[in-house]
Every structure is written in structure tokens, then in C-alpha cells.
């Protein structure tokens, strides 16, 4: 049996989301600090991809606009830009800001910290509250718990909630990327280009 091109694309899309779920499932096999840094890094990379879809490609292969010492070199600046461009809504922006704050605490403190301790616990509660607005959350949480049980993996509820929230964010951003890729150039936002040339 041969798959049509459309069926192959759909299968590829499903596989992409399954890989995100597997990635999120592996997060809670890490320690809390590693899960935080790895998970947020993946979210940050996808956010960059979403923004880049709306930007004019650089003239050279190297795009240093997102390098650490450049205008879009921080997670915070990318969140702000994505919000101002209308690429993410207020709830997604709030989620991203919460995980940015937690990530900064986990990355820059050299002593032991946990999601159970404040202010991280209150931020995790806020993150869970925000991601519960997504219809994806319950399904993702159920799947991650099932995977844990079937593999005999024990993890804290806090780490499970964090991994689920990261999976929701990854899936939400990936869905936005996929939808933007599907839209034709004439359906993209109209932008007035300031130019001295008549075209």
C-alpha cells in the first residue's frame, strides 16, 4: 500500500507531535533542575522558529539576530517580540514568563532548590493553572502518567506537572508553527514596507 503525499504529510505531522510527547515524558526522568533547563530550552527554540517564520530571511546563511549578545538573544526578548507581533496570546505569554522565571532561578542558584519550595511552587501552581486552559493538558497528563506506570517510573507530582506543562507549551507552539507553514504568503499579515522604490 502506498501513501498519498497528503497522508505522508499527516503521518509526519503526527510523528512530530509524538516525538514532542516522548521528549516531555523523558523530562521527568531527569532531576528537577535538568528537566527545567532542558524543557525550557526546547520551548525557547520552538519560539525562535515561530518568530523566524514571520521574519525576512537573512541574506547570509548565518542568522546572528538570535545570538546571546544580539537584540533577540534572550528568552525574555523573544517572548516580548512574539507577543507584540501577535504570534502568541496573553495566556501563552504569561506561561512563557512563568517558566522563564522558574528557569532563571533553577539555572542561577548553586544550592539545592525544588518545585516544592516557594517561590517555585507558587509559580508551578500558576503554570498549571494557565496550561489547564488548553484542551490538550488533560490528555497529555494522562498519557505521561500511563507511560510512567507502564515503565515503572516514579516521579514527584511537581515534576510530572512541570513536564506536562512543558508538553502543552511545546505542542501549542508547534501547532502554531504548522499552521503558519500551511498558510500561503497572501494570507500572512499585511505589512507596510517603507521603501523609496515603486513596486
Q: Domains along the chain?
A: 5-187 (1.20.120.330)
CB of 169 closer than 8 Å to CB of 132? no
DSSP 124: H
pLDDT in the model for residue 184: 53
Say how far apart CA 153 and CA 151 lie, in whole Å: 6
pLDDT in tens, the chain (199 residues): 444 555 455 555 655 666 776 777 777 677 888 888 889 999 999 999 999 888 887 888 777 888 777 878 889 999 999 999 888 999 999 999 999 998 988 777 767 777 777 788 899 999 999 999 988 889 888 888 888 888 888 888 898 899 899 989 998 898 888 888 776 555 555 444 433 444 4
In total, the chain counts a number of residues equal to: 199
Confidence at residue 5, expressed as pLDDT on a 0 to 100 scale: 57
**DSSP state letter for 29:** T
Answer yes or no: pTM beyond 0.95: no
Euclidean distance between CA atoms 104 and 40, whole angstroms:
10
Amino acid at each position: 500500500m502506498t501513501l498519498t503525499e497528503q497522508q505522508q504529510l499527516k503521518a509526519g505531522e503526527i510523528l512530530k507531535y509524538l516525538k514532542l510527547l516522548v521528549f516531555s515524558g523523558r523530562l521527568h526522568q531527569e532531576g528537577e533542575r535538568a528537566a527545567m533547563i532542558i524543557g525550557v530550552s526546547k520551548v525557547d527554540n520552538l519560539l525562535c522558529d515561530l518568530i523566524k517564520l514571520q521574519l525576512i530571511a537573512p541574506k547570509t546563511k548565518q542568522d546572528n539576530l538570535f545570538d546571546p549578545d544580539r537584540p533577540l538573544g534572550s528568552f525574555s526578548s523573544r517572548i516580548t517580540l512574539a507577543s507584540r507581533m501577535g504570534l502568541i496570546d496573553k495566556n501563552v505569554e504569561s506561561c512563557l514568563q512563568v517558566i522563564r522565571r522558574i528557569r532563571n532561578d533553577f539555572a542561577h542558584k548553586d544550592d539545592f532548590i525544588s518545585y516544592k519550595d516557594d517561590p517555585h511552587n507558587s509559580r508551578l501552581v500558576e503554570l498549571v493553572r494557565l496550561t489547564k486552559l488548553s484542551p490538550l493538558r488533560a490528555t497529555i497528563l494522562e498519557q505521561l502518567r500511563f507511560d510512567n506506570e507502564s515503565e515503572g517510573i516514579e516521579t514527584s507530582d511537581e515534576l510530572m506537572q512541570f513536564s506536562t506543562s512543558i508538553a502543552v507549551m511545546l505542542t501549542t507552539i508547534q501547532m502554531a508553527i504548522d499552521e503558519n507553514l500551511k498558510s500561503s504568503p497572501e494570507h500572512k499579515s499585511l505589512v507596510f514596507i517603507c521603501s523609496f522604490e515603486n513596486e
